[in-house]
Amino acid sequence: MKESFFQRKGVKTFLASLISIMIGMVAGIIVIIVVGLTNSTIADSTIWDGIRLVVMGVFSKGRDAVGNLTFGFNPAFFGNMLFRAMPLILTGLSVAVAYKTGLFNIGAPGQYLAGICATLFVALSIPTSSVAPWIVWTLAFLAGMLAGALWGCIPGLLKSLLNINEVIACIMTNWLAACLVTWAFDVSSLKNVIEGTKTGYIYKTAMIINDYELGGVVGVAGPELPEGATLLATRGNVATAKMGLDRLFAGSQVNGGILIAIVFAILLYVIMEKTTLGYQLKACGSNRHAAKYAGIHDKRNIVLSMGIAGAMAGAAGSLYGLSGNTEFFWATYQSLPAVGFTGIAVSLLAVNNPIGVIFSGVFMSFLNVNGLQLTNQTAYNENITDVIISVIVYLSAFSMLIRSLMEKKKEKPKTASSGEVKA
């Protein structure tokens, strides 16, 4: 009876999230119909295409000779969905972990930036001509996580020592990170000067960057050295291993990062649910006074929780940078990376459960890819998927309500075991 109780609760939570998703989808479809009917540039026949793409764009295989949409397993889209899910899962974990300790980590964007910055600096500075690329990769990844962790610790410390609200501190550290990262890249030698058209971008980590000397002048070049130059060192050529995923999902950007994200999710689940550390963190989150009364170091745990949260967001940035084929735009950072904020939605939809975050992260990127297909293959605007996502996020806040509604319906037939209780 004990097991079934837990199962029932899990099932209810899952169903509640599912209902939120369904309602969100329906809302999206309504938007598509309304926009389609009112917008003269969209033919009425396109509406059905739009609906199908929003619901299952990942399975789109383009249009056939007659111009009809065809559907089936599309490895490239599927792989890209997993690729885009990777940072979302990690920022989702970041928010979820902090939430379990009673903290609202709205600082994931800043931690993400700190992570990507540290990672790119390490990955692009250590010459791979003298250090093996996989060691550089590892160092860069650890540096990214560490930077994210440190950035997360700042609001944690402010909260525990000075009782400053972590939301306010996080918002400030977000912008601090944005400005610091802009400045750091601006004064760095990591700006992409080889592909001259790309001003404002940092080298891709997978690129081969050769430092050379020619007539007493030091310069950088791609794989091709200028005539008569002496090679000083080679940098770059660092990227996350594909781990066979490129063969499974041919034509996509996916790499081993998604597996790392899943491992982190499982690890965090085990830590939160099975270990004394998780017990302590949750105790502090649920009732700080009681934790203090019991001799649990509440201040240390707040910092620790924000540190872990920051490390997850840092890992998201780090793995995104290390995927090798993504470019990081640094010039005068105008806005915070959206993936950090979407992490809040991912976590909410998963009711802050680390395992649930895997699925909600994949689901969010599923919607993303669907949205891309909507833009690519119809006259619709990609932003419609944002409408769906926002409806789902809005409803996931109501998932408690949905759950209690389900409870009311199902509660009637009750087992005898709980009857003997009150007496």
> Which spans of this chain sit near another protein (rule: CB under 8 A)?
2, 5-6, 274-277, 279-280, 282-283, 286-287, 289-297, 411-412, 414-416, 418-419, 421-423
Ramachandran area for residue 361 (φ above 0: left; ψ -120 to 50: alpha; else beta): alpha
Q: How far is the CB of 404 from another protein (least distance, A)?
A: 14
Q: How far is the CB of 94 from another protein (least distance, A)?
A: 22
Q: How far is the CB of 113 from another protein (least distance, A)?
A: 32
Q: Which is nearer to another protein, 217 or 423 (CB)?
A: 423
Q: Which amino acid type is present at position 215?
A: G
At 235 the three-state DSSP class reads strand
Q: Which is nearer to another protein, 227 or 411 (CB)?
A: 411
Q: What are phi and psi of 85, to 5 degrees?
A: -70, -30
Q: How far is the CB of 2 from another protein (least distance, A)?
A: 6
Give the CB-side neighbour count of residue 303, counting CA atoms within 13 A.
Answer: 11
- Based on its alpha-carbon atoms, the radius of gyration of the chain, rounded to whole angstroms, reads 24
Other Cβ atoms less than 10 A from the Cβ of 121: the count is: 20
Q: Which is nearer to another protein, 1 or 132 (CB)?
A: 1
Cβ proximity of 57 and 373 under 8 Å: yes
Q: How far is the CB of 296 from another protein (least distance, A)?
A: 8
Q: Which is nearer to another protein, 230 or 418 (CB)?
A: 418
What is the CA 126 to chain-centroid distance, rounded? 27
Q: Which is nearer to another protein, 291 or 349 (CB)?
A: 291
Q: Which is nearer to another protein, 283 or 391 (CB)?
A: 283
Q: How far is the CB of 287 from another protein (least distance, A)?
A: 4
What is the CA 296 to chain-centroid distance, rounded? 31
**Block residue for tokens 């950035």:** 151
Angle, alpha carbons 272-273-279 (nearest 5°) = 65
- DSSP code of residue 226: P
Q: Which is nearer to another protein, 275 or 325 (CB)?
A: 275
Q: Which amino acid type is present at position 62?
A: G
CA dist list (Å): 70 to 49, 77, 85, 315, 369: 10, 14, 24, 37, 16
Q: How far is the CB of 274 from another protein (least distance, A)?
A: 5
Q: How far is the CB of 414 from another protein (least distance, A)?
A: 4
Q: Which is nearer to another protein, 175 or 293 (CB)?
A: 293
Q: Which is nearer to another protein, 210 or 352 (CB)?
A: 352
Structure tokens, 357: 């975050």
At 170 the three-state DSSP class reads helix
Q: Which is nearer to another protein, 44 or 420 (CB)?
A: 420
- Which residues, at least 6 apart from 23, have a Cβ–Cβ distance to it below 8 Å? 391, 392, 395
Q: Which is nearer to another protein, 154 or 302 (CB)?
A: 302
Q: How far is the CB of 245 from another protein (least distance, A)?
A: 32
- Which residues, at least 6 apart from 141, have a Cβ–Cβ distance to it below 8 Å? 119, 315, 318, 319, 322
Length of the chain: 423
- Report the C-alpha gap between 406 and 134 in whole angstroms: 51
Q: How far is the CB of 168 from another protein (least distance, A)?
A: 21
Structure tokens, 345: 């939605």
b/e string for 146-165 if b means 16 or more Cβ within 10 A? bbbbbbbbbbbbbbbeeeee
Q: How far is the CB of 253 from another protein (least distance, A)?
A: 37
Cβ proximity of 341 and 335 under 8 Å: no
